[in-house]
Structure 1
Amino acid sequence: MATDDAVRGCTGVLVIGTRGPAGPGEVLVRIRGGSETFLAWSDKPLPEGASVLVIDCRGTRQVDVVEWADPLNALAGEAGNAG
């Protein structure tokens, strides 16, 4: 089964929440100059709208994801509170 290694390391947003080991959700990933959807698997259930990081590919159009908070967004928030 072919994998899409270009998506590994990309971030995205869940358009359908995952159910952990019980089943996949769906993630929208910005890749290749556009946006694509993939089936998204996770170790624990994640809600619709969660930001995620793609950590592995399971084959054609299927990826493993973990919840993700962009550290640069946190730094931007701290800069706004300085002073």
Structure 2
Amino acid sequence: MQASYGYIDGTGEYFISIDTDLCDGCEKCVPICPEGVFAVAPDDYGKRVAIVKEDLVDRISYVCPGPKGCGANQDIICQTVCSKTAISHTW
């Protein structure tokens, strides 16, 4: 299942998506994110998966640089650290 966190406004669509079928709840994305966007919580079936913190969803494009990258080499470090390729950004 694809869980998408974000919003659409007059300037575009801003979403972080997590493929909960791929996510194994390893929590590597949680400490690596410099903006503290991620947490791990049970999904609807009780499986622990990465989520975007609820209080950040409606301002995700202001908090997360998304496809511009946040790492020293302009890589998207949450995507890089996810060995299951469960995280993607759209904007």
TM, length-normalised to structure 1: 0.22
> Relative contact order (C-alpha < 8 Å, sep 6+): which is higher?
2
Between Structure 1 and Structure 2, the one with more strand by share is: 1
Provide TM-score, normalisation by structure 2. Answer: 0.21
